[in-house]
């Protein structure tokens, strides 16, 4: 089984590299990260790298918008694209199960995104570290490692969601529309709705205790919590942390939740695909 999964994954990786996805995504991540870090304080009349906490907070905000979008763009047609091209029946005529096909597609696209994330953001952080000596500390390196690992997991969760969308959709146009809807809902609307509900309700004690757990229903918020809860008042994260309140999240809970956001959509995609007619 694993050999078939790896074969499909290698095929996807090869196609993604041939289409220059890896180079393009790495370049986008590196360029945007450097631009955000250097020009992040331009609204207050400053340019250049500011504090480490502000830099990490800016990169987390950037990653929360860009990584989900690119993950969905890369993988939304993983299955439905094969169906549209008429190659899906041919693929399934090989000694390859539907579970192995979905798992291979996920692994290939997930590996591509992880590679681009680590290389792109790693290059940007290396440049920032050369210009800002305060980053050259063990605590800063730990925060950087946390950011890189959680960013890779965030990408994997949205690749899994894209695979689920690709299985559920009957044509590429429908899959693209669903991917855009998922991005808008999780990146923009989810937090706005929660914050509006909290403000309109007055935020009684019960609601203040409930809302921090509702944030776990969004993988982007879990990614933010992993990276922002340790920054305190120096990360410029008041809007988001207003919903988290003073709640203390266990790292095991946060990483476990982000992992579940990868495994559950992937399992749902595999289960749905086994019941779907070609």
Calpha distance 172→174 (Å, rounded): 5
User: Which residues, including other chains, have CB under 8 Å from residue 77's CB and lie 6 or more apart?
Assistant: 84, 166, 172, 175, 176
User: Which residues, including other chains, have CB under 8 Å from residue 254's CB and lie 6 or more apart?
Assistant: 222, 225, 226
Q: Specify the pTM.
A: 0.90
pLDDT of the chain, 278 residues: tens digit per residue:
788 999 999 999 998 888 888 889 999 999 988 888 777 555 445 566 667 777 888 889 899 999 999 999 999 999 999 999 989 988 888 888 999 999 999 999 999 999 999 999 989 888 877 777 766 678 888 888 999 999 999 999 999 999 999 999 989 999 999 999 999 999 999 988 887 877 776 666 666 677 888 889 999 999 999 998 766 554 555 556 666 655 678 889 999 999 999 999 999 999 999 988 77
User: Which residues, including other chains, have CB under 8 Å from residue 223's CB and lie 6 or more apart?
Assistant: 60, 63, 64, 150, 151, 153, 154, 258
Q: Is the CB of residue 29 less than 8 Å from the CB of residue 116?
A: yes
Coil vs helix vs strand at 78: coil
User: Which residues, including other chains, have CB under 8 Å from residue 207's CB and lie 6 or more apart?
Assistant: 198, 201
Measured torsion, CA atoms of residues 53, 63, 219, 159, in degrees rounded to the nearest 10: -150
Calpha distance 183→214 (Å, rounded): 18
């Amino acid at each position: 089984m694993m050999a078939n999964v790896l074969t499909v994954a290698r095929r996807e990786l090869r196609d993604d590299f041939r289409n220059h996805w890896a180079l393009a995504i790495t370049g986008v991540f590196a360029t945007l990260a450097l631009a955000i870090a250097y020009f992040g304080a331009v609204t207050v009349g400053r340019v250049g790298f500011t504090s480490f906490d502000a830099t990490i907070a800016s990169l987390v905000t950037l990653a929360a918008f860009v990584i989900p979008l690119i993950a969905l763009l890369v993988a939304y047609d993983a299955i439905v694209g094969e169906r549209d091209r008429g190659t899906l029946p041919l693929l399934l005529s090989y000694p390859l199960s539907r579970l192995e096909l979905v798992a291979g597609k996920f692994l290939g696209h997930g590996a591509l995104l992880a590679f681009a994330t680590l290389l792109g953001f790693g290059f940007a952080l290396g440049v920032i570290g050369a210009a800002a000596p305060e980053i050259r500390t063990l605590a800063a390196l730990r925060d950087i490692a946390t950011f890189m690992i959680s960013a890779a997991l965030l990408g994997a969760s949205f690749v899994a969601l894209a695979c689920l969308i690709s299985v559920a959709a009957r044509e590429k146009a429908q899959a693209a529309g669903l991917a855009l809807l998922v991005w808008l809902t999780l990146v923009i609307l989810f937090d706005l709705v929660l914050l509006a509900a909290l403000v309109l309700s007055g935020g009684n004690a019960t609601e203040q205790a409930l809302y921090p757990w509702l944030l776990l229903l969004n993988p982007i918020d879990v990614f933010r919590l992993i990276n922002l809860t340790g920054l305190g008042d120096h990360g410029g994260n008041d809007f988001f942390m207003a919903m988290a309140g003073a709640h203390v999240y266990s790292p095991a809970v946060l990483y476990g939740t982000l992992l579940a956001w990868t495994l559950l959509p992937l399992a749902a995609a595999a289960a749905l695909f086994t019941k779907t007619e070609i």
